[in-house]
Amino acid sequence: MKKCYALLCAYDGSRFAGFQRQPPLPTVQGSLEAALERLGIRASVEGAGRTDRGVHACRHVVAFRTAEPVDPDALPDRLAAHLPEGLVVIAARIVPYSFHPRFSARHKVYRYRVTTSPAPGDWAGRHTWALPDPRGFPELTHSVRLDRSAMERALELCRGLHDFALLAHPNARGKTVRILSEASLRVHGQGEEAVYEFTFRSRGFLRHQIRNIVGMTVSAGLGLVDEAEVRRLLGGEGERWRGARAPGRGLTFLEAGYAPDEDPFPRAS
């Protein structure tokens, strides 16, 4: 009889072409399935989120089903020998057969980091959006100053129930109406050393939704977008967002939240 197993994973997205398998490109899903097959387990892996190229993850839950006997306590160490650098399985659990890491989730949380440091370090360069960035804002060639209050106002407008069709990929699947329960900003440090940390929480996100919201919000912080334009985009009127889309490297999947009796990896209280 088949059983369902959940894995808690973390990965450096700069080493992968996203989560979803895209042979022959290196992906998280493909790497996990290949590692399982090396252990004699042929199974399809499903994830809590389908992160894009360059997007990182801290607590990404995935699951697979198999009739092969599996010791979940030993599985992380057994998989480690067959996983590429940058991908780690932190823990494994047997879960109810009906569990699905994406459909069972009550919410998902993402973080996006932006820095105005002219020379970010190696880690920051792979995990933040460093401004000025000629690909996002070709007109900016000097040091950048962001208006925090303008960005917080843009995020405030984004919170709640909206049709995000104009701020998502044109081919985004499913309904484009979403409830964004959190869209917040914290600033760490000052001046050129400041790091702007955005947090987003929702039951589900559309493809490119967060990266476009960040691009729009940073544009507001640069004085390139006003409140009326933000309202228009959220109202679903006119053309979709044509401005900067934040690159994947600044985005991290923090966690998926589940009901207490369904959470395979509850945090210690």
Helix, strand, coil tally for the chain in percent (to 5): 25, 30, 45
Phi, psi of 136 (to 5 degrees): -90, -40
Q: Are the C-beta atoms of 233 and 133 separated by less than 8 Å?
A: no
Helices 209-221 and 227-235, packing angle to 10 deg: 160
Closest CA to 93 of 268, 266, 269: 266
Q: Are the C-beta atoms of 237 and 82 separated by less than 8 Å?
A: no
Ramachandran bin of 40, using left for φ above 0, alpha for ψ from -120 to 50, beta for the remaining angles = left
Active site residue 52: yes
C-beta atoms surrounding 126 within 10 Å? 16
Catalytic residue among 52, 133, 226, 261: 52
Task: Report, as residue numbers or ranges, the catalytic residues.
Answer: 52
